[in-house]
Structure 1
Amino acid sequence: ARVAGFGPDTVLLMVLPLAHNYNLGSPGMLGAIAAGGHMVIAPRGDASTVFSLVENERVTCIPAAVPLVVNWLNDPALDRFDTRSLTLVQNGGARLSPELRDRLRKRLGCQYQEVYGTAEGLLNLTRLNDDDEKILTSSGAPICDDDEIKVVDEDGREVADGERGELVTRGPYTIAGYYNAPAINARAFTADGFYRMGDIVVKRGRYVWADGRKGDLINRGGEKINIDEVENLMLKHPALHSVALVAMPDPVYGERACAFGVLRAGATLTFEELSRFLLEQGIAKFKLPERLEIVPEFPVSGAGKILRRTLREIIEAKLAAERSQSAGPRRGP
């Protein structure tokens, strides 16, 4: 709560499901209560509902998630409300791109705080007085001095600061094991008791920069594609409201990149236009999406995370249907 600046004057607006760990205690409701603040519960997450409550209840902080932020920033209704009481918007569950972090700060005139961690323990936050580079790009630093973090390679060897690898952690509030689950514990923990976060990161000192889940990297014939990098470039296109990049199966390369996009109202976008735009942004050709799927909205979890597994299932089903159609009807002997 101290790292988020919570105190007796804190008015926390709860938009996401109350039982989710991020909303509950990262620092969330428990942090606000411990600091002597109070909470307002929003019945819905649309901009009109949320920001009318900000205006009427003098809300100071909103724990948000990527789909909420994207929708708010693209909703003209936001300009109708007085948001001067708002001092902080947090984001958790999935990393918010630097561009959207900056737009959020400027549009709402408040500070931004990235919240990163796991229900099993470790909690990282950017600090309110961090420089712009950390606030706009990093996943923060552990909230507790006793949290131990290191980055390891695929063989479990610790790598130097600035090198990519998996984040592992050990500390006073990180679990030491799952109850009565030795097989799971053997996979989830290192021999010296560090919990495997499953996230690919770069660490510099105590700060980390999340690069996505281990399974979210797209392996195109041995070339690894960082989905965050491509999505951040896609978000700069004026036609796109929100984006997601997922792997689609390929018989030659193993995986190729498929871009899903939700368009802004009245906008259109072709695959060729997207490819041309990304090349103008300086993207390496092997990282280009090789298919574009426009959808009305993304499937999201109760905590506001885009369900990438569902998107992968959608494109896999489409590819299977296309293969079936191209094969044509079977002929008899």
Structure 2
Amino acid sequence: MKTREGTTPWPADVAARYRAEGLWQGRTLGDAFAEAAHVHADRVALVDDEVSLTYTELHDRVEACAARLIDLGLVPDDRVVVQLPNHWTFVVLTVACLRAGIVPVMALPAHREHELRHLVSASEAVALVTPDILRDFDHLALGRALRASSPTVRHLIVLSDDDDAPDAVSLRALCAPSDDSIRGRALPRPDATDVAVFLLSGGTTGLPKLIARTHDDYLCNIVLTSPPSAVDRDTVYLATLPMGHNFPLACPGILGTLLAGGTVVPLGSPRPERAFAAIERHGVTHTAAVPAVVASWLDHAGAVGFDALGSLRVLQVGGARLADELAERVVRGLPGTLQQVFGMAEGLINVTRLDDPVEVVVGTQGRPVSPLDELRVVDETSGLDVAPGAPGVLLTRGPYTPRGYFDAPETNARSFTPDGYYITGDIVRRRPDGNLVVEGRSKDMINRGGENISAEEVENLAYALAGVRLAAAVAMPHDTLGETVCLFAVLSDGHDLDLGAVRAHFDACGVAAFKRPDHLVTVTELPLTKVGKIDKKALRERLVAERSAELTAS
């Protein structure tokens, strides 16, 4: 399937307005990077423990990588599942794909066979890019299995420290400097209306959906998020979150830093010891983190001091609701300015501004980055707009919010209104100043440390366990992760089950580790609503009450 066939276009009059307003520039992301590389030729664009590349050198490698991908037989509109750690080759490969019109599908290092097989199939990927061994998991063996069983995957591209994979293409070789055989070669040029990248949904009804972001709308996303974050040519951006996530990739993140002429520093782990050392070594000015990481950084800073963070100007925090108490600790303790970020790979991005009063920075999740972002807050049951300041489900549409998931008409009918609003599933309050306060989720979703987990997916996997008669997965409050996965299970007579067995089963199913239940509660029955559905609200309230009782007792 061609990507255009599976996408939902913006209405023609709406698209014309975005172009007239200058929000859609008619430029591709590859062209935008090439222009930045020309302007900032001798500045350092990308640096980590292996390389330090100027813009001229990075541009050369991007062009060379794009040419080598074409030599492998890839053509514009081909899809490539990219599952890489935070590494300089991720940047070269991603920009090369954007340059040549090849569409990267942004998988995560934590994904396993369960998720990757779905992504390969849903995108009809022709190639899979993977590390060989990462954190003791053999990604290369999994990649070989996926290639062998897929009717579409022709190429396995591997990031390896050696040459022990003769049946795979070396990613480092693809990302090497150009040579005479490819230097100056003419390359395909995608159109700005073409799909640039596939991001992944949080997946409220099972496995993630593909979010098709065009060059026009994704460049708009980057351009709109850069000024509120003060990203410019002097920015040094530390990427510690998985680089395939929308937040560190383009809000404004890696791509925003490159288009501004700044420096990107990939780091493979957000552990405070490594992050603090990188910040001090490279003079990092900007970085992004989830609340759980911020909590660990605060604890580490309390033990070793804040000297290593002296260069930090902006700390973006998003991916999950930042508790007010933790936000206050950040404002009081860490150098630089806290910027709360609330958004989604499906589009809408809200941020607090760097000059906002402390009360706004601590107590809200910001406001939209574009005046053409349209927001409604509606009653979950009636779908009617709630009174000003009242909580309700957030709906949105705008210049960088697509009108549908890729090739998913049934999901689109549930997730988008007939007039094009995306139903986010977030419960928010909109204050008179336009800032949003996130109250929770209406969709059946668990946000564990910034990773969105479908309760339905967890339940489907649990039902494969012997003796599980009923299963319900709900969010359990957690001090640092925000939420963890709690599985309630009703067992058939004569069966026992413990958490270790549940987690081992999930591992055997090839599921990403962050989706494994953190808690197991076996019960004789589950509460039901009046219409006979499992009452998850009652289960969540039970967990909150138990947590409150524990805190009171302590």
CA distance 1:250–1:133, shift in 2 (3 Å): farther
2:375 corresponds in structure 1 to 149
Change in Cα spacing, 1:40 to 1:245, as seen in structure 2 (3 Å) is closer
Taking the TM superposition and a 5 Å limit, the aligned residue runs for 1:168-187 are 168-187=395-414
Are 2:322 and 1:96 aligned? yes
Query: CA shift at 1:117, angstroms?
Result: 0.9
Per the alignment, residue 200 of structure 1 pairs with: 427
Kindly indicate whether the alpha-carbon contact (under 8 Å) linking 1:116 and 1:140 is maintained by their aligned counterparts in 2.
Answer: yes
Runs of 4+ in 1 over 6 A off after TM superposition: 245-248
Amino acid at match of 2:517: T
Amino acid in the other structure paired with 1:177: G
Q: Runs of 5+ in structure 2 lacking a partner?
A: 1-225, 447-474, 491-512, 525-554
Distance in 1 of aligned mates of 2:373 and 2:482: 34
1:121 maps to a residue whose letter is G
1:310 aligns with 517
CA contact (8 A) 2:298 2:334 kept: no
Give 2:365's match in structure 1, choosing from 129, 132, 139: 139
Task: Verify: 1:84 aligned to 2:310, yes or no.
Answer: yes
Do the aligned residues in 2 keep the contact of 1:66 with 1:96 (CA within 8 Å)? Answer: yes
Structure 1: distance between partners of 2:486 and 2:242 = 29
Structure with bigger helix share is 2
- RMSD across aligned C-alpha pairs, in angstroms? 2.6
Partner Cα distance (1:63, 1:36) in 2: 18
Query: In the TM superposition, what whole-angstrom CA distance separates every residue of 1:31-74 from its partner, at most 9, and x where no partner exists?
Result: 11122211112232211111111111111111111121111111
Q: Distance in 1 between matches of 2:343 and 2:284?
A: 25
Secondary structure of 1:198's aligned partner: strand
1:271-282 correspondence runs (5 A): none
Matched, 1:4 2:232: no
From 335, 344, 350, give the equivalent of 1:118: 344
Instruction: Give the deviation of 1:113 after TM superposition.
Output: 0.5
| Cα deviation digits, residues 159-189 of structure 1 (max 9, x gap) | 1221011000011111111233221111001
| Aligned residues with identical type, % of pairs | 37
Counting matched residue pairs gives: 245
Q: Residues of 1 paired with 2:431 and 2:515: CA distance?
A: 28
Kindly indicate whether the alpha-carbon contact (under 8 Å) linking 1:70 and 1:242 is maintained by their aligned counterparts in 2: no
- Does structure 1 retain, via aligned residues, the 8 Å contact 2:286–2:313? yes
Task: Compute the displacement of 1:308 (Å).
Answer: 7.9
- 1:110-133 Cα offsets, whole Å, 9 max, x none, are 210111111111111111111112
Paired residue secondary structure (1:23): helix
Distance (whole Å) between structure 2 residues aligned to residue 170 and residue 203 of structure 1: 16
Pairing 1:1-333 to 2, within 5 Å after superposition: 1-75=226-300, 76-79=302-305, 81-153=307-379, 154-205=381-432, 206-214=434-442, 215=444, 244=483, 310-311=517-518, 314-316=519-521, 318-319=522-523
- TM-score relative to the length of structure 1: 0.67
Judge conservation of contact 2:394–2:427 (CA < 8 Å) in 1.
yes
How far apart, in 2, do the equivalents of 1:114 and 1:26 lie? 12
Q: Secondary structure at the match of 1:100?
A: helix
Alpha-carbon shift at residue 315 of structure 1 (Å): 2.4
**1:63-100 per-position Cα deviation (integer Å, ceiling 9, x unaligned):** 11112111111124541643221111111110111111
**1:294 aligned partner:** none
Q: Which runs of 5+ in 1 are unaligned?
A: 218-226, 236-240, 252-305, 321-333
Q: Could you tell me how far 1:24 is from its partner in structure 2?
A: 0.3
Q: What is the rounded CA distance, in whole Å, between the counterparts of 1:194 and 1:29 in structure 2?
A: 28
| Structure having the higher Rg | 2
1:48–1:78 Cα contact (<8 Å) kept? no
User: 3-state DSSP class of the match of 2:311?
Assistant: coil
